[in-house]
Amino acid sequence: MWTDLLIKLALAGIVLFAVLNLAGIQTWLERKQSALMQDRVGANRAVFYLPWRWAAPINWVLRKLGGVGLLHALADVIKLLTKEDFIPSSGAPFLFTLAPWISVFFALVAFAAIPFGDSLQLFGRTVDLQVAHIDPALLYVLALASLGVYGVILAGMGSGTNLSALGGLRAASQMLAYEIALGVSLIGVVVWFGTLDLQELIRQQGTYLFGWIPQWGVVVQPVGCLVFMTAALAETKRVPFDLPEGEPEIIGYFVEYSGMKFGLFFLTDFVETVLVAALTTVIFFGGWQVPYLGPHGFAFPWGGAIELSRLTVVLLGVGAFTLKVSFFIWLFMAIRWTLPRFRYDQLMALGWKGLFPISLANIGLTSLLRVLVH
Amino acid sequence: MSDTHVLPLEPHTRSTETRHMFLNIGPSHPAMHGIIQITAELDGERLLATDVEIGYLHRGFEKMCELGPYNNAIPYTDRLNYVSPLINNFGYCWAVERLMGIEAPERCQYIRVILSEISRITDHLTCVGASAMELGAFTVFLYMIKAREVLWELIEAVAGARLTISYGRVGGVKADLPEGFAQRTHAALEEVRRVLIECDKLLTRNRIFVDRMQGTGVISKELAISYGITGPFLRGSGVNYDVRKAYPYFVYDRLQFDVPLGSTGDNYDRYLVRMEEMEQSMRLVEQALKQIPAGPILVDGGGQAIPAAAMVDLAKLGQTGGMKRVNVVTDPTLGGSTKSFHCGINAPERRAVLPPKEDTYGNIEGLMHHFKLVMMGHGIRPPQGEVYAPVEGANGELGFYVVSDGSDRPYRVRVRPPCFTIMAALPDLLIGGMLADLVPTFGSVNMIGGELDR
């Protein structure tokens, strides 16, 4: 009992630690990646030194870290924590304070259902590398991702200014348009694999089509994958779908926020990007699956085999998962720094007239194929 | 038949009240450059009415010009359109030159064309880049700013400054082109072309960008003309009017270039016009660099003599009209007791440029020449009259209307700022559109506060 609890707590700790760190590193990645794309140097200044003589080697490391801009995340946090915590008199102070916490809470809690590795034998127990084993995990993640928009709406309404109210309204309608396409695009996967359990979904993606093509979601559901990624990008409210923020137009739902409350929205943004990258990985790119890596090591379709211990296999899986997630984070950033922003009505048209019918057609086609194949 | 059915909506509409939202956009708003306020009445996201308020950057440019000698206004003109200050410089100097009846040497004219066109490219780069940034394509903006940087380095090599250049002079330009300027320019234009091709790939056929730009901010030919709009904004609507073609100045009539025209007058057409104009400007710079002759760059400073006939004292021709009214009183200032009548009795003073220092220190004519230009109460002294000198600024027709009362200070300097008329038309472009359309439309105006508010 206690061991179970401890294991769960440890898993939750690991996930929280990993996600928050990834979000922190993402601020660095965002700066450096955009700099790379725009012929700039990017963050390279923030650094601090320890005053003692014996700390010279540490200072050397700090200087190197500062030189590549890694300490900027720290500087950000210090700045945000020490800024004035401003609450507009025109707004509703309680909702205004609540909103960023709602945003960040739902974004973080959604990670509970995301499996980041295969099951492991620990203390005579089989431990799934997943905080909460929820049978309809897919529904759980989608539900929490949708709840996150309440933070944005409350922020828009609680600020009591027109610009932020417009931001909140935009967020609500955008969420409605894209949440549906997002959910419907996943039905194809559910139909194909016949499960809502994410861990089970990943296990099934470890099988092979024709004996050698990994049966990843993207292979059997390419259209669903595209629709999902587009809709998921819209969920993260980043360019080209950053209408609730839309800086040059309405400045955004968080126009009145300052200090760490703004910081929480900032964090939510990055956590959501990690979440969406993780979801894409889990549902369409085999999660922790490494091609041809079975429970006992590599077994290549052309005959070769490499024996590996169980622990190595699981660690390789966790590594592959991290790598895939990082790749999608990078991809979303590359998109964010390349494309301009949609207009409100164009966004709605894309969601309702483009993605929604496509994903509906995808369901029909998938069901037909499913019946024909089996 | 008219009252066949009673609307069931009646009680419902009474219970819900619909009100329009009034939204203050600016002056502290990222897209308004901090100097424009647009009060908008919104129905959802649709703009029902807008009120554009300008004047946040009013510095009294025109009044300041009247308070000092003619040359003092040159640094002020740098601050009109601060993205292409050289064009303003040359426009003002050309106006005063026309007032005085002098013409800058040929080499100077070419230098003015070259630098004007380089400035036009920097201006268009800023405009297109900033519009793209405000649509969310931040990378394009930085690419274009990078290209602009290359051009500003060129300008810096010539004028010694990047923004507040004060490079124009009445009767010429401050300094000759530096060594190897042609090669540097060719290299820079190469770089700019590379960037433009890159940005063209990123924007011109980008579906999101096209959707945002096409069909928004439409202005018809007739409306554009009736507002007095000029420049790329007018040409985007398909009206072929370019001051460089219609009233050629400097040496534009000797150079080959096309005037790109749009057809629908929407933001996308204006974007395309600006992109093409940059290419045409580069073409102009290349031609001018090929044709540019050697020679002096200042009318009388660089060795080119002003013909004697132009310098003859009118009194010696018997035109002594004003002299009779001279009321001789002793006056301790260097202006002399007859200063107030100088305009009536003196010859039109055609010297506008300081002599070389060797002359100032070496002979009495040079010293007097220097004295006449720099001492208080003297300076450039055009004859009585008025002149309107339009040049094609980056945003359109940039006109300087200068009135001289014969004294050493302009009686009036009026600037016809190109984006002023466009700002007047802005509500017509915005009303009926979405709030988000405000961004590309306002971006394509290329509102430059210094020029708009003066």
Sign of CA dihedral A283, A285, A289, A293: positive
Please count the CA atoms within 13 angstroms of the CA of B382 that sit on its side-chain side. 27
Which positions ≥6 away from B392 have C-beta within 8 Å? B87, B120, B231, B242, B243, B244, B398
Q: Are residues A308 and A214 in the same domain?
A: yes
CB-based burial label for A368 (10 Å; 0-12, 13-18, 19+): exposed
Residues A188 and A232 in one domain: yes
Strand-pairing partners, residue B388, are B401
As to burial, measured by CB atoms within 10 angstroms (0-12 exposed, 13-18 middle, 19+ buried), residue A53 is exposed
Longest dimension (CA), chain B: 103
pLDDT of residue B444: 85
Are the beta carbons of A166 and B29 separated by less than 8 Å? no
Mean pLDDT of chain B: 81
Q: DSSP string spanning B222-289?
A: HHHHHHT--THHHHHTT----HHHHS--TTGGGS-------SS-SHHHHHHHHHHHHHHHHHHHHHHH
Domain boundary among A32, A63, A82: A82
- Cis upstream peptide for A214 (omega within 30°): no
Rounded Cα–Cα distance for residues B298 and B284 (Å) = 22
For residues A34-44, average pLDDT: 85
| Range of lowest pLDDT (A165-179, B79-93, B239-253, B356-370) | B356-370
**Is any Cβ of chain A less than 8 angstroms from the Cβ of B434?**
yes
List the one residue out of B266, B228, B287 whose CA is nearest residue B416: B228
Residue A236: closest CA among A332, A301, A358, A151: A332
Position A59 pLDDT exceeds 50? yes
Q: Does the CB of B45 have a partner CB in chain A at under 8 Å?
A: yes
Report how far apart, in Å, the C-alpha atoms of B433 and of each of A350, B52, B211, B216, B421 are: 19, 15, 13, 7, 20
- Architecture of B77-299 per CATH? Orthogonal Bundle (1.10)
Choose the closest CB to B136 out of A39, A240, A345. A240
Considering the domain boundaries, does residue A34 fall inside one?
no
Report the largest interatomic distance among the alpha carbons of chain A, rounded to a whole angstrom.
Answer: 74
In the predicted model, is pLDDT for residue B406 greater than 80? no
Q: Which residues of B touch A239 (CB under 8 A)?
A: 136
Q: For residues B96-125, give the mean pLDDT.
A: 87
pLDDT band at B314 (very low <50, low <70, confident <90, very high): low
Q: What is the pLDDT of residues B149-180, one digit of tens each?
A: 999 999 988 888 888 888 888 888 888 888 88
Q: CA A51 → CA B174, B215, B385, distances in Å?
A: 54, 62, 73
Whether residues A276 and A175 fall in one domain: yes
A34 contacts B138? CB cut-off 8 A: yes
Chain B residue with minimum CA distance to A349 = B211
Alpha-carbon span B126 to B145, nearest angstrom: 7
The beta-strand segments (E) located in chain A are: 117-122, 125-129, 208-209, 213-214, 293-294, 297-299, 305-307
A73 and A143 together in one domain? no
Does the residue A17 lie in any domain? no
Predicted confidence band of residue A204 (pLDDT cuts 50, 70, 90): confident
- What's the pLDDT tens digit per position in B334-352? 555 555 555 555 445 667 7
Q: What ipTM score was computed for the predicted complex, to two decimals?
A: 0.78
Same domain, A309 and A339: yes
pLDDT given for residue B121 in this prediction: 92
Q: How many residues does chain B have?
A: 454
Same domain, A214 and A168: yes
What is the reported pLDDT for B8? Answer: 47
**For residue A250, which residues of chain B lie inside 8 Å, CB to CB?**
435
Ranked by mean pLDDT, the top range of B156-165, B318-327, B374-383 is B156-165
- Specify whether A315 is located in the same domain as A355: yes
Is A238 inside any structural domain?
A: yes
Question: What distance in Å separates the CA atoms of residue B317 and residue B310, rounded to the nearest whole number?
Answer: 12
pLDDT of residue A5: 84
On whether residue A210 sits in a domain, the answer given is yes
- Nearest by CB to A247, which of B30, B212, B437? B30
Q: Kindly report the pTM of this predicted structure.
A: 0.81
- Can you tell me the mean pLDDT for A53-61? 88
pLDDT digits (tens, 9 = 90+) for A211-254: 777 888 788 888 888 888 888 888 877 777 877 776 777 777 88
At B122 the pLDDT is 92
Q: Are residues A77 and A111 in the same domain?
A: no
A contacts of B194 (beta carbons < 8 Å):
none
Cβ distance A162 to B434 less than 8 Å, yes or no, reads no
Minimum Cα–Cα distance from B216: chain A residue: A343
Tell me if B135 and A340 make a contact (CB, 8 A cut-off): yes
Measured CA to CA, the distance from residue A239 to residue B202 in angstroms comes to 15
Range(s) of chain B covered by CATH 1.10.645.10? 77-299
Contact A39 B135 (CB under 8 A): no
* Interchain contact, A340 vs B21, CB within 8 Å: no
Same domain? A163 vs A202: yes
- Other C-beta atoms lying within 10 Å of the C-beta of residue B330: 5
CA distance B444 to B91: 23
Q: How many domains does chain A have?
A: 2
Minimal-distance CA residue of chain B relative to A161? B23
Measured between CB atoms, which of A249, A342, A345 is closest to B439? A249
**Could you tell me the pLDDT band of residue B302, with boundaries at 50, 70 and 90?**
very low
Where in the sequence is the domain holding A257, given as residue range(s)?
A: 91-373
Q: In what order do the strands lie in the sheet with B385-392?
A: B385-392, B397-404, B410-416
Mean pLDDT, residues B268-272 taken together: 90
Q: CA of B138 to nearest chain A CA: how many angstroms apart?
A: 7
Cα–Cα–Cα angle for A84, A88, A92, rounded to 5 degrees: 125
Count Cα neighbours of B323 within 13 Å in the Cβ-side half-sphere: 10
